[in-house]
Structure 1
Amino acid sequence: MLADRIRRMGAPHWLALYGLVLACWVLLALMAVPPDLREVARVFGGAFWEAFCTTTPDAAGFARLWVMWALMSGAMMAPTALPAFATYDDLGHSTETNLPGLVGGYLAVWLGFAAVAAGLQMALFAAGWVSAFGDSRSGLLSGGLLVLAGAYQFSALREACLAKCRMPVTFFMAHWNDGAWRNGVRLGAVCLGCCWALMLLGFVGGVMSLAFMGLATLVMTLEKLRAGVWITRPLGIALIVAGLGVALWT
Protein backbone atom coordinates (compact mmCIF):
# COMPACT_ATOMS: atom_id res chain seq x y z
CA MET A 1 0.00 0.00 0.00
CA LEU A 2 2.85 2.39 0.84
CA ALA A 3 4.51 1.55 -2.48
CA ASP A 4 1.27 2.35 -4.32
CA ARG A 5 1.01 5.70 -2.57
CA ILE A 6 4.62 6.55 -3.44
CA ARG A 7 3.94 5.72 -7.10
CA ARG A 8 0.80 7.87 -7.11
CA MET A 9 2.74 10.79 -5.63
CA GLY A 10 5.00 10.67 -8.67
CA ALA A 11 2.10 11.69 -10.93
CA PRO A 12 2.43 14.93 -12.94
CA HIS A 13 0.24 17.01 -10.62
CA TRP A 14 2.37 15.94 -7.65
CA LEU A 15 5.58 16.72 -9.50
CA ALA A 16 4.18 20.17 -10.27
CA LEU A 17 3.48 20.71 -6.56
CA TYR A 18 6.98 19.58 -5.59
CA GLY A 19 8.39 21.90 -8.25
CA LEU A 20 6.39 24.83 -6.85
CA VAL A 21 7.67 24.24 -3.32
CA LEU A 22 11.24 23.79 -4.55
CA ALA A 23 11.03 26.97 -6.62
CA CYS A 24 9.84 28.92 -3.57
CA TRP A 25 12.77 27.65 -1.49
CA VAL A 26 15.28 28.37 -4.26
CA LEU A 27 14.00 31.93 -4.67
CA LEU A 28 14.06 32.45 -0.91
CA ALA A 29 17.64 31.16 -0.78
CA LEU A 30 18.61 33.65 -3.48
CA MET A 31 16.87 36.49 -1.63
CA ALA A 32 18.04 35.53 1.87
CA VAL A 33 20.25 38.05 3.64
CA PRO A 34 23.52 36.54 4.94
CA PRO A 35 24.07 36.86 8.71
CA ASP A 36 27.28 38.86 8.21
CA LEU A 37 25.43 41.44 6.11
CA ARG A 38 22.77 41.73 8.80
CA GLU A 39 25.52 42.37 11.35
CA VAL A 40 27.10 45.06 9.16
CA ALA A 41 23.72 46.75 8.87
CA ARG A 42 23.35 46.74 12.65
CA VAL A 43 26.74 48.44 12.98
CA PHE A 44 26.30 51.04 10.25
CA GLY A 45 22.56 51.61 10.63
CA GLY A 46 19.56 51.34 8.38
CA ALA A 47 21.01 53.68 5.77
CA PHE A 48 23.54 51.00 4.85
CA TRP A 49 20.85 48.56 3.80
CA GLU A 50 18.77 51.21 2.05
CA ALA A 51 21.49 51.30 -0.62
CA PHE A 52 20.63 47.69 -1.43
CA CYS A 53 16.90 47.35 -0.85
CA THR A 54 14.57 50.00 0.51
CA THR A 55 11.36 49.13 2.32
CA THR A 56 9.39 52.07 1.01
CA PRO A 57 5.95 53.04 2.35
CA ASP A 58 4.32 52.88 -1.06
CA ALA A 59 2.71 50.41 -3.44
CA ALA A 60 6.08 49.24 -4.81
CA GLY A 61 7.44 48.58 -1.34
CA PHE A 62 4.28 46.72 -0.36
CA ALA A 63 4.45 44.62 -3.54
CA ARG A 64 8.03 43.56 -2.82
CA LEU A 65 7.15 42.52 0.72
CA TRP A 66 4.01 40.72 -0.46
CA VAL A 67 6.06 38.66 -2.91
CA MET A 68 8.56 37.83 -0.16
CA TRP A 69 5.84 36.73 2.29
CA ALA A 70 4.03 34.83 -0.48
CA LEU A 71 7.20 32.85 -1.22
CA MET A 72 7.67 32.19 2.50
CA SER A 73 4.08 30.98 2.81
CA GLY A 74 4.37 28.67 -0.19
CA ALA A 75 7.72 27.27 0.89
CA MET A 76 6.76 26.76 4.53
CA MET A 77 3.04 25.90 4.48
CA ALA A 78 2.64 23.66 1.43
CA PRO A 79 4.93 20.97 2.96
CA THR A 80 2.90 21.00 6.18
CA ALA A 81 -0.24 20.19 4.18
CA LEU A 82 1.24 17.31 2.17
CA PRO A 83 -0.45 14.62 4.33
CA ALA A 84 -3.83 16.29 3.77
CA PHE A 85 -3.16 16.65 0.04
CA ALA A 86 -2.19 12.97 -0.14
CA THR A 87 -5.36 11.94 1.70
CA TYR A 88 -7.48 13.96 -0.71
CA ASP A 89 -5.69 12.41 -3.68
CA ASP A 90 -6.28 8.91 -2.27
CA LEU A 91 -10.01 9.60 -2.20
CA GLY A 92 -9.81 9.89 -5.98
CA HIS A 93 -9.90 6.08 -6.19
CA SER A 94 -13.55 6.08 -5.18
CA THR A 95 -14.74 9.47 -6.43
CA GLU A 96 -13.62 12.37 -8.62
CA THR A 97 -10.97 14.67 -7.16
CA ASN A 98 -9.17 17.80 -8.31
CA LEU A 99 -5.86 18.19 -6.45
CA PRO A 100 -4.76 21.34 -8.37
CA GLY A 101 -8.04 23.02 -7.40
CA LEU A 102 -7.56 22.01 -3.78
CA VAL A 103 -3.98 23.31 -3.69
CA GLY A 104 -5.05 26.52 -5.45
CA GLY A 105 -7.70 27.25 -2.84
CA TYR A 106 -5.26 26.44 -0.05
CA LEU A 107 -2.56 28.77 -1.37
CA ALA A 108 -5.11 31.56 -2.00
CA VAL A 109 -5.65 31.80 1.75
CA TRP A 110 -1.91 32.08 2.37
CA LEU A 111 -1.55 34.72 -0.34
CA GLY A 112 -4.07 36.72 1.67
CA PHE A 113 -2.03 36.15 4.82
CA ALA A 114 1.06 37.32 2.92
CA ALA A 115 -0.68 40.61 2.12
CA VAL A 116 -1.57 41.15 5.79
CA ALA A 117 1.96 40.25 6.92
CA ALA A 118 3.48 42.62 4.34
CA GLY A 119 1.28 45.45 5.58
CA LEU A 120 2.20 44.66 9.18
CA GLN A 121 5.90 44.68 8.33
CA MET A 122 5.57 48.07 6.64
CA ALA A 123 3.79 49.47 9.70
CA LEU A 124 6.38 48.05 12.11
CA PHE A 125 9.22 49.38 9.95
CA ALA A 126 7.65 52.84 9.82
CA ALA A 127 7.34 52.79 13.62
CA GLY A 128 10.99 51.77 13.96
CA TRP A 129 10.16 48.45 15.62
CA VAL A 130 11.74 46.28 12.92
CA SER A 131 14.79 46.79 10.74
CA ALA A 132 14.75 47.01 6.96
CA PHE A 133 15.34 43.25 7.07
CA GLY A 134 12.13 42.76 9.04
CA ASP A 135 14.00 41.73 12.22
CA SER A 136 12.67 43.03 15.53
CA ARG A 137 14.52 45.98 17.05
CA SER A 138 12.45 45.88 20.23
CA GLY A 139 12.78 43.44 23.11
CA LEU A 140 9.17 44.12 24.00
CA LEU A 141 8.02 43.31 20.46
CA SER A 142 10.09 40.11 20.33
CA GLY A 143 8.97 39.05 23.79
CA GLY A 144 5.35 39.91 23.04
CA LEU A 145 5.31 37.87 19.83
CA LEU A 146 6.92 34.90 21.58
CA VAL A 147 4.44 35.03 24.47
CA LEU A 148 1.54 35.45 22.04
CA ALA A 149 2.65 32.42 20.01
CA GLY A 150 3.19 30.41 23.19
CA ALA A 151 -0.19 31.32 24.68
CA TYR A 152 -1.92 30.55 21.39
CA GLN A 153 -0.54 27.00 21.57
CA PHE A 154 -3.05 26.42 24.41
CA SER A 155 -6.07 28.04 22.76
CA ALA A 156 -9.25 26.09 21.98
CA LEU A 157 -9.35 27.58 18.47
CA ARG A 158 -5.90 26.31 17.62
CA GLU A 159 -6.68 22.88 19.06
CA ALA A 160 -9.83 22.68 16.93
CA CYS A 161 -7.88 23.62 13.80
CA LEU A 162 -5.13 21.11 14.56
CA ALA A 163 -7.70 18.37 15.09
CA LYS A 164 -9.00 18.92 11.56
CA CYS A 165 -5.47 18.91 10.12
CA ARG A 166 -4.70 15.63 11.92
CA MET A 167 -7.86 13.92 10.61
CA PRO A 168 -8.04 14.99 6.96
CA VAL A 169 -10.38 12.17 5.88
CA THR A 170 -13.07 13.30 8.31
CA PHE A 171 -12.45 16.92 7.33
CA PHE A 172 -12.86 16.32 3.60
CA MET A 173 -15.87 14.03 3.87
CA ALA A 174 -17.73 16.57 6.00
CA HIS A 175 -17.51 19.15 3.18
CA TRP A 176 -17.05 16.99 0.09
CA ASN A 177 -19.93 18.47 -1.91
CA ASP A 178 -18.39 21.95 -1.70
CA GLY A 179 -15.85 21.05 -4.39
CA ALA A 180 -12.06 21.16 -4.57
CA TRP A 181 -11.55 24.93 -4.51
CA ARG A 182 -13.80 25.54 -1.52
CA ASN A 183 -12.30 22.61 0.32
CA GLY A 184 -8.86 24.04 -0.42
CA VAL A 185 -9.88 27.45 0.95
CA ARG A 186 -11.36 25.77 4.01
CA LEU A 187 -8.19 23.71 4.52
CA GLY A 188 -6.09 26.85 4.11
CA ALA A 189 -8.21 28.65 6.70
CA VAL A 190 -7.79 25.76 9.13
CA CYS A 191 -4.01 25.77 8.60
CA LEU A 192 -3.95 29.53 9.04
CA GLY A 193 -5.76 29.04 12.33
CA CYS A 194 -3.00 26.65 13.37
CA CYS A 195 0.06 28.53 12.24
CA TRP A 196 -0.40 32.30 11.94
CA ALA A 197 1.22 33.05 15.31
CA LEU A 198 4.24 30.85 14.56
CA MET A 199 4.62 32.46 11.15
CA LEU A 200 4.74 35.92 12.74
CA LEU A 201 7.77 34.77 14.73
CA GLY A 202 9.65 35.54 11.52
CA PHE A 203 9.95 39.06 12.96
CA VAL A 204 11.83 37.50 15.89
CA GLY A 205 13.80 34.73 14.17
CA GLY A 206 14.52 36.85 11.12
CA VAL A 207 12.30 37.45 8.12
CA MET A 208 14.01 35.74 5.18
CA SER A 209 16.23 33.75 7.55
CA LEU A 210 16.57 30.26 6.05
CA ALA A 211 17.41 28.79 9.47
CA PHE A 212 14.21 30.14 11.01
CA MET A 213 12.08 29.11 8.02
CA GLY A 214 13.48 25.58 8.00
CA LEU A 215 12.97 25.11 11.75
CA ALA A 216 9.46 26.59 11.70
CA THR A 217 8.46 24.40 8.75
CA LEU A 218 9.67 21.29 10.56
CA VAL A 219 7.81 22.20 13.78
CA MET A 220 4.55 23.02 12.00
CA THR A 221 4.73 19.83 9.94
CA LEU A 222 5.28 17.66 13.00
CA GLU A 223 2.46 19.36 14.89
CA LYS A 224 -0.04 18.46 12.16
CA LEU A 225 0.75 14.77 12.52
CA ARG A 226 -1.14 12.79 15.15
CA ALA A 227 2.04 12.44 17.20
CA GLY A 228 2.24 16.22 17.22
CA VAL A 229 -0.06 16.30 20.24
CA TRP A 230 3.08 15.71 22.33
CA ILE A 231 4.77 18.80 20.88
CA THR A 232 2.11 21.49 21.18
CA ARG A 233 2.05 22.22 24.92
CA PRO A 234 5.80 21.87 25.61
CA LEU A 235 6.44 24.20 22.69
CA GLY A 236 3.93 26.69 24.11
CA ILE A 237 5.66 26.66 27.50
CA ALA A 238 9.07 27.11 25.89
CA LEU A 239 7.86 30.07 23.80
CA ILE A 240 6.26 31.80 26.79
CA VAL A 241 9.39 31.37 28.93
CA ALA A 242 11.59 32.61 26.08
CA GLY A 243 9.28 35.57 25.48
CA LEU A 244 9.30 36.64 29.12
CA GLY A 245 13.07 36.30 29.20
CA VAL A 246 13.53 38.42 26.09
CA ALA A 247 11.08 41.10 27.27
CA LEU A 248 12.61 41.37 30.76
CA TRP A 249 16.30 41.16 29.96
CA THR A 250 16.76 42.98 26.64
Structure 2
Amino acid sequence: MAAPHWIALFACILAAWVVLYAMALPSDLRAMSQLYGANFWASLCVVTPDAAGFVRVVLMWALMSAAMMAPTALPAFATYDDLSNTEARTDFGQLVLGYIVVWIGFSILAGAAQMLLFTAGLLDPLGQSLSRMLSGALLIGAGLYQFTPMKEACLSKCRRPMTFFMQHWDEGPLRNGVRLGLVCIGCCWALMLLAFVGGVMNILFMGLATLIMVFEKLPDLGRYITKPLGRALVLGGLALGAGIF
Protein backbone atom coordinates (compact mmCIF):
# COMPACT_ATOMS: atom_id res chain seq x y z
CA MET A 1 0.00 0.00 0.00
CA ALA A 2 1.37 3.43 -0.94
CA ALA A 3 2.57 5.67 1.87
CA PRO A 4 0.35 8.68 2.64
CA HIS A 5 2.99 11.22 1.60
CA TRP A 6 3.25 9.63 -1.85
CA ILE A 7 -0.51 9.60 -2.24
CA ALA A 8 -0.58 13.29 -1.29
CA LEU A 9 2.22 14.13 -3.76
CA PHE A 10 0.55 12.35 -6.68
CA ALA A 11 -2.78 13.92 -5.75
CA CYS A 12 -1.21 17.38 -5.89
CA ILE A 13 0.35 16.68 -9.30
CA LEU A 14 -2.96 15.39 -10.64
CA ALA A 15 -4.83 18.37 -9.19
CA ALA A 16 -2.40 20.78 -10.87
CA TRP A 17 -3.02 19.15 -14.27
CA VAL A 18 -6.79 19.20 -13.73
CA VAL A 19 -6.75 22.90 -12.86
CA LEU A 20 -4.52 23.69 -15.85
CA TYR A 21 -6.89 21.81 -18.13
CA ALA A 22 -9.83 23.71 -16.70
CA MET A 23 -8.01 27.02 -17.23
CA ALA A 24 -7.07 26.23 -20.84
CA LEU A 25 -9.48 27.89 -23.22
CA PRO A 26 -11.26 25.60 -25.72
CA SER A 27 -10.33 25.72 -29.39
CA ASP A 28 -13.52 27.45 -30.48
CA LEU A 29 -12.78 30.42 -28.23
CA ARG A 30 -9.20 30.53 -29.51
CA ALA A 31 -10.51 30.65 -33.07
CA MET A 32 -12.67 33.65 -32.19
CA SER A 33 -9.51 35.68 -31.56
CA GLN A 34 -9.03 35.84 -35.33
CA LEU A 35 -12.38 37.63 -35.57
CA TYR A 36 -12.28 39.84 -32.48
CA GLY A 37 -8.56 40.37 -31.88
CA ALA A 38 -6.76 41.21 -28.65
CA ASN A 39 -9.65 43.26 -27.21
CA PHE A 40 -11.79 40.14 -27.14
CA TRP A 41 -9.25 38.30 -25.01
CA ALA A 42 -8.72 41.28 -22.74
CA SER A 43 -12.45 41.35 -22.09
CA LEU A 44 -12.21 37.74 -20.92
CA CYS A 45 -9.47 38.78 -18.47
CA VAL A 46 -7.02 36.22 -19.79
CA VAL A 47 -4.15 38.62 -19.04
CA THR A 48 -4.46 42.20 -17.90
CA PRO A 49 -1.52 44.61 -17.43
CA ASP A 50 -2.21 45.27 -13.76
CA ALA A 51 -1.50 43.78 -10.33
CA ALA A 52 -4.43 41.38 -10.54
CA GLY A 53 -3.26 40.19 -13.95
CA PHE A 54 0.25 39.64 -12.62
CA VAL A 55 -1.07 37.55 -9.73
CA ARG A 56 -3.07 35.39 -12.16
CA VAL A 57 -0.05 34.89 -14.39
CA VAL A 58 2.20 33.94 -11.47
CA LEU A 59 -0.43 31.50 -10.20
CA MET A 60 -0.66 29.96 -13.66
CA TRP A 61 3.14 29.54 -13.84
CA ALA A 62 3.18 28.04 -10.34
CA LEU A 63 0.57 25.49 -11.42
CA MET A 64 2.55 24.76 -14.59
CA SER A 65 5.72 24.27 -12.56
CA ALA A 66 3.99 21.89 -10.16
CA ALA A 67 2.36 19.90 -12.94
CA MET A 68 5.41 19.75 -15.21
CA MET A 69 8.40 19.68 -12.86
CA ALA A 70 7.24 17.48 -9.99
CA PRO A 71 7.04 14.42 -12.29
CA THR A 72 10.63 15.02 -13.44
CA ALA A 73 11.79 15.01 -9.81
CA LEU A 74 10.02 11.78 -8.82
CA PRO A 75 13.22 9.65 -9.05
CA ALA A 76 14.98 12.09 -6.72
CA PHE A 77 12.03 12.13 -4.32
CA ALA A 78 11.98 8.31 -4.32
CA THR A 79 15.71 8.17 -3.61
CA TYR A 80 15.33 10.54 -0.69
CA ASP A 81 12.39 8.51 0.61
CA ASP A 82 14.49 5.33 0.45
CA LEU A 83 17.21 7.03 2.49
CA SER A 84 14.66 7.78 5.19
CA ASN A 85 14.75 4.11 6.12
CA THR A 86 18.43 4.29 7.07
CA GLU A 87 19.22 7.91 7.90
CA ALA A 88 17.97 10.57 10.30
CA ARG A 89 16.63 14.04 9.37
CA THR A 90 14.60 12.86 6.38
CA ASP A 91 11.42 14.91 6.54
CA PHE A 92 9.88 14.26 3.11
CA GLY A 93 7.48 17.17 3.44
CA GLN A 94 10.29 19.66 4.06
CA LEU A 95 12.15 18.35 1.02
CA VAL A 96 9.13 18.91 -1.22
CA LEU A 97 8.47 22.29 0.38
CA GLY A 98 11.99 23.48 -0.39
CA TYR A 99 11.60 22.28 -3.97
CA ILE A 100 8.27 24.08 -4.37
CA VAL A 101 9.56 27.35 -2.91
CA VAL A 102 12.29 27.51 -5.55
CA TRP A 103 9.81 26.95 -8.38
CA ILE A 104 7.48 29.59 -6.96
CA GLY A 105 10.40 31.99 -7.25
CA PHE A 106 10.86 30.92 -10.87
CA SER A 107 7.12 31.43 -11.44
CA ILE A 108 7.34 35.02 -10.21
CA LEU A 109 10.20 35.75 -12.62
CA ALA A 110 8.48 33.99 -15.52
CA GLY A 111 5.23 35.82 -14.77
CA ALA A 112 7.07 39.14 -14.75
CA ALA A 113 8.68 38.27 -18.09
CA GLN A 114 5.28 37.38 -19.54
CA MET A 115 3.74 40.65 -18.37
CA LEU A 116 6.63 42.67 -19.85
CA LEU A 117 6.43 40.86 -23.17
CA PHE A 118 2.65 41.21 -23.23
CA THR A 119 2.71 44.95 -22.58
CA ALA A 120 5.39 45.29 -25.28
CA GLY A 121 3.04 43.64 -27.77
CA LEU A 122 5.23 40.55 -28.22
CA LEU A 123 2.80 38.08 -26.62
CA ASP A 124 -0.92 37.67 -27.05
CA PRO A 125 -3.19 37.46 -23.97
CA LEU A 126 -2.80 33.67 -24.03
CA GLY A 127 0.95 33.99 -23.58
CA GLN A 128 1.91 32.96 -27.12
CA SER A 129 4.56 34.81 -29.09
CA LEU A 130 3.37 37.27 -31.74
CA SER A 131 6.92 37.80 -32.99
CA ARG A 132 8.69 35.41 -35.32
CA MET A 133 12.03 36.79 -34.14
CA LEU A 134 11.17 36.28 -30.47
CA SER A 135 10.05 32.71 -31.12
CA GLY A 136 13.19 32.00 -33.11
CA ALA A 137 15.41 33.51 -30.41
CA LEU A 138 13.75 31.44 -27.69
CA LEU A 139 14.17 28.25 -29.70
CA ILE A 140 17.80 28.98 -30.54
CA GLY A 141 18.59 30.02 -26.98
CA ALA A 142 17.03 26.86 -25.54
CA GLY A 143 18.86 24.77 -28.13
CA LEU A 144 22.27 26.31 -27.41
CA TYR A 145 21.74 25.91 -23.66
CA GLN A 146 21.52 22.14 -24.21
CA PHE A 147 25.28 22.18 -24.96
CA THR A 148 26.44 24.29 -22.00
CA PRO A 149 28.48 23.02 -19.03
CA MET A 150 25.76 24.37 -16.70
CA LYS A 151 23.13 22.16 -18.33
CA GLU A 152 25.40 19.13 -18.16
CA ALA A 153 26.33 19.76 -14.53
CA CYS A 154 22.70 20.09 -13.46
CA LEU A 155 21.62 17.03 -15.44
CA SER A 156 24.39 14.94 -13.89
CA LYS A 157 23.02 15.73 -10.43
CA CYS A 158 19.45 14.95 -11.45
CA ARG A 159 20.53 11.65 -12.98
CA ARG A 160 22.43 10.60 -9.83
CA PRO A 161 20.19 11.68 -6.96
CA MET A 162 21.81 9.33 -4.45
CA THR A 163 25.19 11.00 -4.91
CA PHE A 164 23.58 14.42 -4.86
CA PHE A 165 21.80 13.86 -1.54
CA MET A 166 24.77 12.23 0.17
CA GLN A 167 26.97 15.20 -0.73
CA HIS A 168 24.61 17.63 1.03
CA TRP A 169 22.95 15.39 3.58
CA ASP A 170 24.05 17.34 6.65
CA GLU A 171 22.21 20.45 5.41
CA GLY A 172 18.84 18.87 6.23
CA PRO A 173 15.72 18.18 4.15
CA LEU A 174 14.58 21.77 3.55
CA ARG A 175 17.90 22.95 2.17
CA ASN A 176 18.23 19.74 0.17
CA GLY A 177 14.84 20.50 -1.35
CA VAL A 178 15.98 24.01 -2.24
CA ARG A 179 19.17 22.62 -3.79
CA LEU A 180 17.18 20.08 -5.78
CA GLY A 181 14.84 22.81 -7.02
CA LEU A 182 17.77 24.97 -8.12
CA VAL A 183 19.34 22.04 -9.95
CA CYS A 184 16.03 21.34 -11.71
CA ILE A 185 15.77 24.97 -12.75
CA GLY A 186 19.31 24.71 -14.10
CA CYS A 187 18.17 21.76 -16.21
CA CYS A 188 14.84 23.02 -17.45
CA TRP A 189 14.41 26.82 -17.32
CA ALA A 190 15.14 27.34 -21.02
CA LEU A 191 12.76 24.55 -22.06
CA MET A 192 10.07 25.94 -19.76
CA LEU A 193 10.32 29.35 -21.43
CA LEU A 194 9.44 27.72 -24.74
CA ALA A 195 5.89 27.98 -23.41
CA PHE A 196 5.99 31.46 -24.94
CA VAL A 197 6.42 29.77 -28.33
CA GLY A 198 3.92 26.95 -27.88
CA GLY A 199 1.45 28.97 -25.81
CA VAL A 200 1.51 29.25 -22.05
CA MET A 201 -1.91 27.63 -21.68
CA ASN A 202 -1.35 25.00 -24.39
CA ILE A 203 -1.99 21.64 -22.70
CA LEU A 204 -0.42 19.72 -25.61
CA PHE A 205 2.82 21.71 -25.29
CA MET A 206 2.91 21.21 -21.52
CA GLY A 207 2.39 17.47 -21.84
CA LEU A 208 5.05 17.07 -24.53
CA ALA A 209 7.56 19.25 -22.67
CA THR A 210 6.97 17.29 -19.46
CA LEU A 211 7.69 13.99 -21.21
CA ILE A 212 10.88 15.38 -22.76
CA MET A 213 12.15 16.70 -19.43
CA VAL A 214 11.29 13.42 -17.65
CA PHE A 215 13.16 11.34 -20.24
CA GLU A 216 16.10 13.74 -20.33
CA LYS A 217 16.74 13.19 -16.61
CA LEU A 218 16.82 9.40 -16.92
CA PRO A 219 20.45 8.24 -16.69
CA ASP A 220 20.31 5.64 -19.49
CA LEU A 221 18.02 7.43 -21.93
CA GLY A 222 18.73 11.08 -21.24
CA ARG A 223 22.18 11.21 -22.82
CA TYR A 224 20.61 10.31 -26.17
CA ILE A 225 18.14 13.21 -25.92
CA THR A 226 19.98 16.32 -24.69
CA LYS A 227 22.21 17.20 -27.63
CA PRO A 228 19.92 15.98 -30.45
CA LEU A 229 17.15 18.04 -28.88
CA GLY A 230 19.48 21.04 -28.81
CA ARG A 231 20.28 20.67 -32.49
CA ALA A 232 16.60 20.33 -33.37
CA LEU A 233 15.69 23.46 -31.39
CA VAL A 234 18.46 25.52 -33.00
CA LEU A 235 17.50 24.39 -36.50
CA GLY A 236 13.85 25.08 -35.75
CA GLY A 237 14.69 28.57 -34.48
CA LEU A 238 16.80 29.35 -37.53
CA ALA A 239 14.09 28.09 -39.87
CA LEU A 240 11.44 30.11 -38.06
CA GLY A 241 13.55 33.24 -38.11
CA ALA A 242 14.21 32.80 -41.81
CA GLY A 243 10.49 32.45 -42.50
CA ILE A 244 10.77 28.85 -43.74
CA PHE A 245 7.73 27.95 -41.64
Q: TM-score, length-normalised on structure 1?
A: 0.95
Aligned-partner Cα distance in 1 for 2:176–2:114 = 30
Aligned-partner Cα distance in 2 for 1:199–1:77 = 9
Correspondence 1:5-44 to 2 at 5 A: 7=1, 10-44=2-36
| 1:182 aligned to which of 175, 181, 193 | 175
The residue aligned with 2:118 is: 125
8 A contact 2:58–2:111 mirrored in 1? yes
Deviation, structure 1 residue 33: 1.7
2:10 counterpart SS class: helix
Aligned-partner Cα distance in 1 for 2:209–2:146 = 14
Identity of aligned residues (%): 58
| 1:243 aligned to which of 227, 237, 241 | 237
The residue aligned with 2:53 is: 61
Deviation, structure 1 residue 115: 0.4
1:216 correspondence with 2:209: yes
Gap regions ≥5 residues in structure 2: none
1:45 counterpart SS class: helix
The residue aligned with 1:50 is: 42
Deviations 1:99-131 (A, max 9, x none): 111011001110000000110000000000000
Deviation, structure 1 residue 36: 3.0
Aligned-partner Cα distance in 2 for 1:242–1:44 = 30
Structure 2 letter corresponding to 1:191: C
8 A contact 2:46–2:126 mirrored in 1? no
1:94 correspondence with 2:75: no
Deviation, structure 1 residue 54: 4.5
1:200 correspondence with 2:193: yes
Q: TM-score, length-normalised on structure 2?
A: 0.97
Deviations 1:132-190 (A, max 9, x none): 00000000000000000000000000000000000000000000000000000000000
Aligned-partner Cα distance in 2 for 1:91–1:144 = 42
Aligned-partner Cα distance in 2 for 1:176–1:54 = 43
Aligned-partner Cα distance in 2 for 1:208–1:100 = 29
Structure 1 letter corresponding to 2:25: V
Deviations 1:186-240 (A, max 9, x none): 0000000000000000000111111000000000000011120110010000000
Deviation, structure 1 residue 50: 1.5
Structure 2 letter corresponding to 1:228: G
The residue aligned with 1:4 is: none
Gap regions ≥5 residues in structure 1: 1-6
Runs of 4+ in structure 1 off by over 6 angstroms are none
1:115 correspondence with 2:108: yes
